């Protein structure tokens, strides 16, 4: 069947930056299973999947606006080192922090004796991405998957054992 905006799709993907640096890949691992339309995938990838069929392989380039968004300069902040309570703060460390935008993941991008510069942008914000995709399977969502808003089963991350079939077996 052809992929529509609420299909359950099982796919293999490899995502790279446009200089060819591979960022992530499912190849060699279990493929990913997702319910479309719930933004488990970035918008540009969901758009590209629509209309494809089981077995299709394709490449798609996705601009930041349809991926992780543009970088926001205001998310880079310099804070006093004293905020870290004597912790050994190093460039590249990331941690959860409460900021004006709520709780988010921030990364240390610079340090000095007095200050630490943290960046709350997603590491892939502002980065155009290239995807290589193989559509492994396509199916209709079950009513339960629609109710839950996510796919069930292998590769979905939601194999949480409360669907009716499993309850009846127990």
| Contact present, 27 and 12 (Cβ < 8 Å) | yes
Give the binding range for Zn ion (CB under 5 A) out of 4-12, 38-46, 62-70, 154-162: 154-162
Task: State the Cα–Cα distance between residues 116 and 64, nearest whole angstrom.
Answer: 27
Give the binding range for Zn ion (CB under 5 A) out of 3-11, 28-36, 47-55, 156-164: 156-164
Task: State the Cα–Cα distance between residues 119 and 132, nearest whole angstrom.
Answer: 29
Among 111, 148, 153, 157, binds Zn ion (CB under 5 A): 148
Task: State the Cα–Cα distance between residues 150 and 128, nearest whole angstrom.
Answer: 27
CB nearer Zn ion, residue 99 or residue 142: 142
Nearest Cα neighbor of 58 from 110, 108, 14 is: 14
Least separation, in Å, of the C-beta of 34 and Zn ion?
A: 13
Least separation, in Å, of the C-beta of 147 and Zn ion?
A: 8
Q: Which two tokens stand for residue 72?
A: 């926001």
| Contact present, 125 and 76 (Cβ < 8 Å) | no
Least separation, in Å, of the C-beta of 9 and Zn ion?
A: 17
Least separation, in Å, of the C-beta of 149 and Zn ion?
A: 8
Q: Where along the sequence are the contacts to Zn ion (CB under 5 A)?
A: 148, 158
């Amino acid at each position: 069947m052809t992929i529509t905006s609420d299909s359950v799709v099982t796919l293999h993907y490899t995502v790279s930056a446009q200089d060819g640096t591979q960022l992530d890949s499912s190849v060699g691992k279990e493929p990913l299973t997702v319910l479309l339309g719930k933004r488990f995938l970035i918008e540009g990838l969901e758009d590209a999947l629509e209309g494809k069929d089981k077995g299709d392989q394709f490449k798609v380039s996705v601009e930041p606006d349809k991926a992780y968004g543009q970088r926001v300069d205001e998310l880079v902040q310099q804070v006093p080192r004293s905020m870290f309570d004597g912790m050994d703060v190093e460039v590249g460390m990331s941690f959860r922090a409460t900021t004006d935008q709520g709780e988010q993941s921030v990364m240390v991008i610079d340090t000095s004796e007095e200050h630490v510069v943290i960046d709350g942008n997603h590491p892939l914000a502002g980065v155009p991405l290239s995807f290589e995709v193989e559509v492994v399977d396509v199916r209709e969502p079950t009513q339960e998957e629609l109710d839950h808003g996510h796919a069930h089963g292998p590769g979905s991350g939601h194999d949480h054992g409360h669907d009716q079939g499993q309850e009846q077996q127990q």
